[in-house]
Amino acid sequence: MTNSKRAVTAEDFTKLAVYSEPQFSPDGSKYAFVSTTVNDKEEYESQLFLQDLTTNMPKQWTFGCEKNSHPRFSPDGQKVVFQSNRSGVSQLWLLHTDGGEAKQITTFKNGAVNPNWSKDGKYIVFTASLDSDDDVKSQKEQSKEERQKEREEKKKQPLVVTSLRYKSDAQGFHDDKKSQIVLYDVEHETFTQLTTADAHHGYQDVSPDGATILFAGNLNEDADYELISDLYTVNIATKEITKLTNSSGTFHSASYSPSGDKIAYLGHEQTHAGATLNELYVFDVKTGERTCLSTDWDFQLGDLMIGDTRLGTSTTGPVWSKDEDKLFFVGTDFGATGLFQVNLQGELEVLYKNDNHVFGFSYDGSSESFVIGVSTPTNPCNFYLLDNSLKLTRLTNANTEFLEEVELSEPETLTYTAQDGWEIQGWLLRPYGFEEGKKYPFVLEIHGGPHAMYGQTFFHEMQLLAAKGYVVLYTNPRGSHGYGQDFVDAVRSDYGGSDYTDLMSAVDYVLENYSFIDEDRLGVTGGSYGGFMTNWIVGHTNRFKAAVTQRSISNWLSFYGVSDIGFFFTKWELGHNLLEDTTKLWEFSPLKYVENVETPLLILHGEQDYRCPIEQGEQLFVALKHLRKEVEFVRFPGASHELSRSGKPEMRIERLNHICRWFEQYL
């Protein structure tokens, strides 16, 4: 077959515009959004765009090599507040919707983020990282030179650790600063700090009457040892804090109803630890009573789709209707996400679900319509208008040049039966230039989590492997989201058990049903939990001729103490921690089975990965090399656990090239 379009390359993700954060204007006539790209300096930049719903062409609002995000319209629609790092760290800026230069409104030393307006437009509420003795009225932004000097001085000082949770993959080593909620008076240009507790405060919403702020956090004395997140309100006038939930679980994504009488929120009480499905709750502000609307549902609320080009956050709900008789949210179900609504009696309705990835939405009460963001396996992103009759109209034409230039493989959805009779969903990509009668090498991709979901979204890495001539298979073995509570919980305490046989059954199924796969040239790769499973596979079967393990787990005994989540994740997922059963943890560890490994293995790991620290890769490499196995270790400087998704572009390209090189060498 002759292709008129070229094959995908490792560098192609740098040519994409990734859309996020759609935000309706108050009158519903236009919407703002964020577009993230990789610039000529090989750095990410994010710009704000505005599109009138009567036109087909969005208008770019911000420019320069900075990250601008989180646009929020003032209630009168005349201004937009947003966050930008154009001054060096993320600060808040005001922009008139009719044009002109943006005005900087915060100069906080450690920046300011997540701005939102009060309903009357008099205040902007935001969060800032503050020390206990910081004064918000005299915050001064550092110069580039001052920031550099402070960083150099910090490197010379030892880190004194007193907290159990002293690091995180997202932020590195923590300091004593905490996220506090701050109020900005727009007219008087003054700041008021509303929270002061030695805890992180996550802004959620402001009440319609402007009297209280809703936030999430843990203000308990034993917060360092607890895996909970409660909801609280803080009274703006008195700064009095009221606790709304009872420390029974993790609660978030909270929002006031238009009248302020109710609060909707997501969360769960950890009945299945980290594998627990979210519930949708409504809290009565006057009575304090809580109602669960999702009692009879069996799917995950929110967006749990995995991809490698989804930069930027977007609202996924719950969002109140204008009459506060319904709630809207994104749900994760059978390899796709959709937009759902529910009334206060718990009656569920699908507003939009079309076997693709809805990654966010904005709701306009006046027209009762939505702007929704959609990604498909062959189209990275676009925005659509979903009107009150559920008619869908495309608003943007993102990445047109890229899509006209490259050949993308449309996945074939398949369902196969596991050894114990469970049905497992997966997808298969045929290689670029596919020809009937030819045999092709094969790569099995395994997702991380494990409580996440592969599905109908754009995935550059998958397309790249198909472009390199491989048949690509990706599946959702038990432990994945999208198939109900029993399914997502089934992997716990059984790592390397039925999840492993689910994957082997997938390979058996495609070899039996797709004659163009060369069974003598099988490869496997995965990251995080997928890296663990890659390690497990090569220690338990020699059917694969090449393997690439990424940011993996090899030894659960050491993982307990070195990972930012190890001290609880080990117990949650395996049923035991280091202090309870070392024998069991060793049995779960791929490192135990290294003598069985005959598959050439490439180990990829980020130097600054605090989720699955690089010592996991080091142990595996040393053991295999000591046994004179075929192994190679690639360490990525400065890279965290997020290397494949939001790491430095040049490191992401290097990573993809190493994967392709290894499979080309051995397959």
Active-site residue (options: 70, 447, 481, 641): 641
Model confidence at 406, pLDDT cuts 50, 70, 90, reads: very high
Is 646 a residue whose pLDDT tops 70? yes
201 annotated active-site: no
Is 3 a residue whose pLDDT tops 80? no
Can you say how many angstroms the Cα of residue 10 is from the centroid of all Cα atoms in its chain? Answer: 22
Is 56 a residue whose pLDDT tops 80? no
Q: How far apart are CA 344 and CA 259, in angstroms?
A: 15
Q: Which two tokens stand for residue 316?
A: 């996924």
In three-state secondary structure terms, 480 is coil
Q: Which two tokens stand for residue 246?
A: 């009872």
pLDDT confidence of residue 146? 85
Please report where in the chains the tokens 């965290």 appear, as a residue.
640
Alpha-carbon distances, residue 433 vs 12, 33, 466, 482 (angstroms)? 18, 36, 9, 32
Pinpoint the alpha helices (H) of 520-614.
529-538, 556-562, 566-574, 582-588
Instruction: Summarize pLDDT for 59-104 with one digit per residue, the tens.
Output: 999 999 999 999 999 999 999 999 999 999 999 999 999 878 999 9
User: Which one is the CATH code of 409-554+589-666: 3.30.1540.20, 3.40.50.720, 3.40.980.10, 3.40.50.1820?
Assistant: 3.40.50.1820
Is 427 a residue whose pLDDT tops 90? yes
Ordered by start, the domain boundaries in the chain are 409-554+589-666
Its sign, for the CA torsion 589, 590, 591, 593, is positive
626 annotated active-site: no
Torsion of CA 505, 506, 512, 515, to 10 degrees: -160
Active-site residue (options: 294, 375, 528, 558): 528
pLDDT confidence of residue 2? 60
Instruction: Summarize pLDDT for 277-314 with one digit per residue, the tens.
Output: 999 999 999 999 999 999 999 999 999 999 999 988 89
Instruction: Summarize pLDDT for 257-268 with one digit per residue, the tens.
Output: 999 999 999 999
Instruction: Summarize pLDDT for 457-515 with one digit per residue, the tens.
Output: 999 999 999 999 999 999 999 999 999 999 999 999 999 999 999 999 999 999 999 99
Question: Quick one: DSSP state of residue 400?
Answer: H
Q: What is the mean pLDDT of residues 43-70?
A: 93
Q: How far apart are CA 206 and CA 191, in angstroms?
A: 16
Segment (H or E) for 185? strand 178-185
Q: What is the mean pLDDT of residues 190-200?
A: 96
Q: How far apart are CA 31 and CA 371, in angstroms?
A: 8
Which residues, 6+ apart, have CB-to-CB distance to 225 below 8 Å?
A: 164
- Flag whether the pTM goes above 0.95: yes
Instruction: Summarize pLDDT for 311-343 with one digit per residue, the tens.
Output: 888 999 999 999 999 999 999 999 999 999 999
Model confidence at 439, pLDDT cuts 50, 70, 90, reads: very high
Q: How far apart are CA 15 and CA 36, in angstroms?
A: 10
The answer to whether residues 565 and 582 touch, using CB atoms and an 8 Å cutoff, is no
Is 1 a residue whose pLDDT tops 80? no
Is 375 a residue whose pLDDT tops 80? yes
What average pLDDT is seen over the chain? Answer: 96
Q: What is the mean pLDDT of residues 117-132?
A: 96
Phi-psi region of 28 (alpha: psi -120 to 50; beta: other; left: phi over 0): left
Instruction: Summarize pLDDT for 557-575 with one digit per residue, the tens.
Output: 999 999 999 999 999 999 9
Q: How far apart are CA 441 and CA 462, in angstroms?
A: 14
Its sign, for the CA torsion 261, 264, 267, 268, is positive
Give the bridge partners for 23, in sequence order. Answer: 32
Q: Which two tokens stand for residue 62?
A: 């911000």
Is 594 a residue whose pLDDT tops 70? yes
The answer to whether residues 340 and 316 touch, using CB atoms and an 8 Å cutoff, is no
Share of the chain above pLDDT 70, in %: 100
